[in-house]
Amino acid sequence: MGLNGLMIVRAARAEELAEVGELRVAAYTSQHLLDRVPWYADRLRRLGEHGEVLVAVDGDKILGTALLERWHEDSELAAGPADAEIRAFAVAPDAQGRGVGRMLVRAVVERAAELGARRVLLSTQPIMLAAQRLYEEAGFVRAPELDFEPAQGFTMLAYQKEL
């Protein structure tokens, strides 16, 4: 539950996007997810131009965020207009273990379905075991044929969920 029990997921407001970017970087840094790809921090701060940034909030405190990105020609995983991706998924370090991630994944999948997506994809680092369990609980399955290497020797694992 949230601090006051009223945790909700909603679209991020324009004035919140800088805070959302810093939350992403803090969450990834706390889990050492940027150690091998430090350049990705700047990208995390900016992600959102091709999709909807959702935030989990408790009152005015942002606890987590996820980007729902519809297919576009530079998509990482999406192969066409029936696909959407979850990107920049992050929960604030002090909010982890409170159901924020589960709530965000559910909301992003529901929003993708509302927008007409037939499949939702995402990628995760091999060390992100808690996130992988969360994705699998939400019905995502591994799609090893879509794994990729954004940097030499650094593999991202792909997951997908048919809607």
Q: Which domains are delineated in the chain? A: 8-118 (3.40.630.30)
Give residue 5's pLDDT band: very low, low, confident or very high (50, 70, 90).
low
| Cα-to-chain-centroid distance, residue 120 | 11
Q: If we measure between CA atoms, which residue out of 142, 148, 52 comes closest to residue 104?
A: 52
CB proximity list for 83: less than 8 A, separation 6 or greater: 70, 71, 75, 77, 117, 118, 119, 120, 121
pLDDT tens per residue, range 71-122: 999 899 999 999 999 999 999 999 988 999 999 999 999 999 999 999 999 9
Q: What burial class does residue 30 get, using C-beta atoms within 10 Å of its C-beta: 0-12 exposed, 13-18 middle, 19+ buried?
A: middle
- The whole-model pTM stands at 0.91
Residue pLDDT, tens place only, 37-53 = 888 899 899 888 789 99
| Contact in structure between 77 and 158 (CB atoms under 8 Å) | yes
| Residue 129 to residue 51: CA distance in whole angstroms | 26
| Position 4 pLDDT exceeds 60 | no
pLDDT in tens, 114-143: 999 999 999 999 988 889 999 999 999 999
